[in-house]
Structure 1
Amino acid sequence: MLLKYTRTFYALLFISGLTTICLSCNSSANDVDSATRGSNTSASNEIFELNFQIKGLAAGHYYLTGMYGGQFYTIDSFAIENNGQALIHRPALLPQGMYYVVLPDRYTSIQFIVTDEQKFSMTSDVNNLVGNMVVKNCEETFLLYHNLKFEQKYRGEYEALKQKINSTPRGSREAAILEVERQEKIDERIAQIQKDAAEHPDAFFTTFKLAGQNPRIKAQKLPNGEDDNARIVTLYRQQYWDAVDFSDGRLLRTPVYTNKLRSFFENIVPQHIDSLVKYAEIVTNASMQNDSLFKFTANYVGMKYQSPTFMGSDAVYVYMVENYFTHERAFWAKSHEIDRLQLDASIRHSSMLGEKAKDLEVIAPDGKMISLLDSDAELLVLYIYTPNCENCQKETPLVKKAYDAWKSRGVEVFALCTDPDEKLWKNYIDQNDLDWTNAFDPMIESEYTFKYHIDITPEIYVLDRNRIIVARDLHAFQLDEILGRHIR
């Protein structure tokens, strides 16, 4: 298996950037990115202290947990006594953001937000933890539970209304009335969020809450009066980030930014390369308002598409590396790491879909030199393999089967062996009856590793009549479909 460590190596380059971020989760507040709005300047006598009492909680070990970039991390553990009381103390301020007291079951948690106020109290009881919560000396957490109490009441009323709608005959007058009530209930929730935001415009809770809201798009109509659903989807995508304050890196210490980023690229953006690149650029450029958000966003998008999720989608990774993992912009990465990423992106770029295939001058079984682009085949399959690779041993017979089915229609296979053992190569040809164009380059004189991205072997490329790359990263079973699509 050629270059079997390549994927791991380059993933580690990205992760090294993320690790640097995550390590800061355990730092004191003065380590928070200086570009993060509202960060504290820590002094030696500044501490975090939470007087915590939830009546009815069982005694046991609980966990103070933070979040960064969608990942939870444990800060400390502490004991809660039989009366549900504990004093949670840290010798330095916590980085500003959202935190959780995680119960012994490791699933249930009690959340709070800290910014400047880091000595406060929370009291409630297990019968109605949210409804009976009393917060003192922390406005951000007070606002959080003010909202949670509203949401708790709202959800109960909304679910009851949905049940009535579901049990009412569709198209009836009563159903129409209930639908109006449902819309009014949604409007009520939006109005409450907007009211709270207007009353507390500078609160981090407001930044957090608004960032989590999805756009509401008014009905769009076609000229014939029918609903213009395509326009609604487009407007939703365009307005998706409007309520996010990209200047506030504290959003990384909440679930909202990572969840929004994940949903955007998986559910909102059309899953084709041009759209993914377009919106990767839009979101990453917006994130550059804050160093922490930019660093995280560039790493997240780059890593997401480093391994293709569909054919050619690593073009997004290539775009991210070429434009953001540069010496000028990737301030978190070491110079040699950037150089390696740029080299990897350059190799991938040269063999992306739509690129002109690079020529390879290699050795044929008779010892003569042959050229990849000298072939006059209608379609050319470049099959890069290693004889003793387990996957190659499974794929080669399937490639051979496809070749036998399509060679009469102008398909040729150019099979390049990556192992330097000539005897092994020739034995493999004989054992598998490989009557296509066989090639060998033991010293890599053709520089094929710099012309074609070879993550693991086998790699399969399909070149059209003009030797444009029309398919790559294939499994052998996909060849019939691809060849049928492109053959004249």
Structure 2
Amino acid sequence: MRKLFVTLIATLLGHFTLQAQGYQIAVKLKNFTGGKFFLAHYMGRSTYLADSAEVSPTGDAILKGKEKLLPGIYLLVLPGKEKYVETLIDKQQFFSVTLDSADLINKTVYKGSPDNDLFLSYNKFLFQQEALSRNIQQQLQAAHSAADTAKVLPLQKELGRKIQDFRSNFIVQHPGTILSTIFLAMKEPEVPQQPAGADSTFAYRYFKSHYWDEVDLESDRLVRTPILEGKLKKYFTQLVMPSPDSIIVDCDALIARTRKSKETFKFVLWWLTYNYESSPYMGMDAVFVHLVEKYYVPGDAFWLTNEQLNKIVDRAYALAPNLIGKQAAPLEFKDSASNMLSLYKTQSKYTVLVFWDPTCGHCKTELPRLDSAFKASWKSKGVTMVAVKTEGTREEWLQFIKDHDLRDWVHGSDPQSATNYRRLYDVYSTPMIYLLDDKKKIVAKKLGVEQLQEFLDRNTAKNAAASR
């Protein structure tokens, strides 16, 4: 199933708040007498087209618009799209640039753009370090022992120090510039010496609590750079505890810091919502539901149309009833003899509830594997297998059960969807697997055989230890 937020990226890009003064970038290209010149911008780590212009026979191109561009890092892309130059856009949006494809570092010249003069000096500095960087990488690749690697590490450390010193000095010398904002955001907290009596988590707690200190979340300057998305990804994958409750707390705290910038608020909320709506990890849909209920339902997602908003809200409401920890919805169905059965009347320590289709290729592979694990291990742990047919004919259903000897399972179907199981259990693909406890509370879902085995083994061991 395609995720909702993939389809909404165009909306995110197309409705930024723009100012009315316009922009104009006059480009002079050496070695070009035609073709199309492009202006692109970052959105997170991806790039998108912002403007284009035809190159005249004299090598000139004019990029202009009636509304100002959002600040950030843009790409001046030469005809053929094989070469480009990164350029800064901030308050000064009327300037010119001369580009020579033979040397885009040393022969690029800006006029009327102090920000880009500074950016160019940084890029020239990096270019000067490139030979040393290549040499370090070659030595690391050629290293045959730990001792060889150890000899190179001081050189690598020294290169990193030189680059960081350049950035730190730049911040002091040019405060308030967009490049200083970018350099500050790239910095990471320096953990002080651990105080006497502090526990072993001091370094982690300090680093996490100061992670956003130097990141400008109150202006629009970082939205169209790769920096903000990189910071978000590291924070939520490496620093935030991987449980929905912890993630929700950190999401809300971070979003609160973006409220002074509509564009930063928009990007951060979008990134978090998409990230957790599409997460492959079990239970993360609780974060998605929380974000929708707290920010989308009240109308904070101002950039969405009513139709787009309704799709997101509907998706969250479809997930809400079957989050981990929720009570499973009542489910009644007919067995193969057309007798009525009830999920809640099927008593067992654990219930593996499987929605499946006898014509589904993945089901044909997974159900026999589930049955093997059930017979070998799960049955002795007090597991009952409950399987509900979603598609296929009655004949296909019964034949599959017979062919694979699934007689120890509880089988049922709801051909008229009287229980509305598709919505209540979010059955958009098959097989869809839930693990329920003895009170029919959802303890796990969307697991494979191996994950179910690990979960059941872990819970069995935990319960055994608790009963001693």
Q: TM-score range by the shorter chain?
A: 0.7 to 0.9
Pair 1:366–1:222, CA change in 2 (3 A): farther
> C-alpha separation between the residues in 2 aligned to 1:246 and 1:79?
38
Matched, 1:41 2:26: no
Q: Indicate the residue corresponding to 2:64 in structure 1.
A: 90
- Residues 353 and 469, structure 1, Cα contact 8 Å, conserved in 2: yes
Matched, 1:101 2:72: no
- Residues 62 and 80, structure 1, Cα contact 8 Å, conserved in 2: no
> C-alpha separation between the residues in 1 aligned to 2:433 and 2:102?
61
Q: Indicate the residue corresponding to 2:385 in structure 1.
A: 413
Deviations 1:89-108 (A, max 9, x none): 33545513322222456453
Counterpart of 1:254 in 2: which secondary structure?
A: coil
Deviations 1:294-319 (A, max 9, x none): 22222222122223322222222222
Pair 1:248–1:467, CA change in 2 (3 A): same
Pair 1:186–1:477, CA change in 2 (3 A): closer
Alpha-carbon distance, 1:438 to partner: 1.0
Deviations 1:29-56 (A, max 9, x none): xxx515xxxxx423xxx551324356xx
> C-alpha separation between the residues in 2 aligned to 1:409 and 1:170?
49
Of 5, 9, 18 in structure 1, the residue corresponding to residue 9 of structure 2 is 18
Superposition TM-score, scaled by structure 2 size: 0.82
Alpha-carbon distance, 1:135 to partner: 2.4
Counterparts of residues 324-339 of structure 1 (less than 5 Å): 324-339=295-310
Structure 1 residue identity aligned to 2:455? I
> C-alpha separation between the residues in 2 aligned to 1:164 and 1:220?
35
Deviations 1:175-207 (A, max 9, x none): 8xx96x987876665454344334443322322
Alpha-carbon distance, 1:400 to partner: 1.6
Pair 1:121–1:315, CA change in 2 (3 A): same
Pair 1:446–1:125, CA change in 2 (3 A): closer
Matched, 1:136 2:111: yes
Of 424, 430, 442 in structure 2, the residue corresponding to residue 469 of structure 1 is 442
Q: Indicate the residue corresponding to 1:27 in structure 2.
A: none
Pair 1:408–1:206, CA change in 2 (3 A): closer
> C-alpha separation between the residues in 1 aligned to 2:101 and 2:10?
37
Q: Indicate the residue corresponding to 1:149 in structure 2.
A: 124
Of 122, 138, 151 in structure 1, the residue corresponding to residue 97 of structure 2 is 122
Pair 1:63–1:73, CA change in 2 (3 A): farther
Alpha-carbon distance, 1:414 to partner: 0.9
Deviations 1:372-398 (A, max 9, x none): 122222221101112222211221111
Q: Indicate the residue corresponding to 1:432 in structure 2.
A: 404
Of 162, 167, 190 in structure 2, the residue corresponding to residue 193 of structure 1 is 167
Ranges in structure 1 where 5+ consecutive residues have no aligned partner: 1-6, 25-31, 35-39
- Residues 194 and 202, structure 2, Cα contact 8 Å, conserved in 1: yes
- Residues 53 and 86, structure 1, Cα contact 8 Å, conserved in 2: yes
Q: Indicate the residue corresponding to 1:460 in structure 2.
A: 433
> C-alpha separation between the residues in 1 aligned to 2:83 and 2:451?
46
Pair 1:471–1:222, CA change in 2 (3 A): farther
Matched, 1:76 2:60: no
Deviations 1:10-43 (A, max 9, x none): x34x34542123235xxxxxxx515xxxxx423x
Q: Which moved more, 1:111-120 or 1:374-383?
A: 111-120
> C-alpha separation between the residues in 1 aligned to 2:37 and 2:239?
35
> C-alpha separation between the residues in 1 aligned to 2:100 and 2:423?
64
Deviations 1:101-128 (A, max 9, x none): 2245645321211234333233465676
Matched, 1:50 2:26: yes
- Residues 350 and 438, structure 2, Cα contact 8 Å, conserved in 1: yes
- Residues 422 and 428, structure 2, Cα contact 8 Å, conserved in 1: no
- Residues 464 and 486, structure 1, Cα contact 8 Å, conserved in 2: no
> C-alpha separation between the residues in 2 aligned to 1:67 and 1:267?
28
Q: Indicate the residue corresponding to 1:444 in structure 2.
A: 417
> C-alpha separation between the residues in 1 aligned to 2:54 and 2:337?
74
Q: What is the count of residue pairs matched by the alignment? A: 453
Counterparts of residues 151-300 of structure 1 (less than 5 Å): 151-153=126-128, 189-190=163-164, 192-220=166-194, 223=197, 228=200, 230-300=201-271
> C-alpha separation between the residues in 1 aligned to 2:17 and 2:77?
26
Of 289, 292, 296 in structure 2, the residue corresponding to residue 321 of structure 1 is 292
Q: Which structure exhibits the higher relative contact order, with contacts defined as CA atoms closer than 8 Å and separated by 6 or more residues?
A: 1
Alpha-carbon distance, 1:65 to partner: 2.8
Deviations 1:118-168 (A, max 9, x none): 33233465676434543221112112123323444466678889999999x
- Residues 327 and 335, structure 1, Cα contact 8 Å, conserved in 2: no
Alpha-carbon distance, 1:410 to partner: 1.8
- Residues 26 and 95, structure 2, Cα contact 8 Å, conserved in 1: yes
Deviations 1:212-245 (A, max 9, x none): 3222323436759xx95x4323322222222222
> C-alpha separation between the residues in 1 aligned to 2:87 and 2:406?
66
Q: Which moved more, 1:97-106 or 1:137-146?
A: 97-106
Identical positions, percent: 25
Q: Indicate the residue corresponding to 1:3 in structure 2.
A: none
Structure 1 residue identity aligned to 2:17? D
> C-alpha separation between the residues in 2 aligned to 1:62 and 1:235?
50
Matched, 1:404 2:388: no
> C-alpha separation between the residues in 2 aligned to 1:426 and 1:170?
62
> C-alpha separation between the residues in 2 aligned to 1:155 and 1:326?
50
> C-alpha separation between the residues in 2 aligned to 1:235 and 1:51?
47
Deviations 1:231-289 (A, max 9, x none): 32332222222222222224222222223223333344344433333332232332332
Pair 1:451–1:395, CA change in 2 (3 A): same
Counterpart of 2:277 in 1: which secondary structure?
A: coil
Structure 2 residue identity aligned to 1:66? A
- Residues 53 and 63, structure 2, Cα contact 8 Å, conserved in 1: no
Q: Which moved more, 1:135-144 or 1:441-450?
A: 441-450
Q: Indicate the residue corresponding to 1:485 in structure 2.
A: 458
> C-alpha separation between the residues in 2 aligned to 1:393 and 1:52?
63
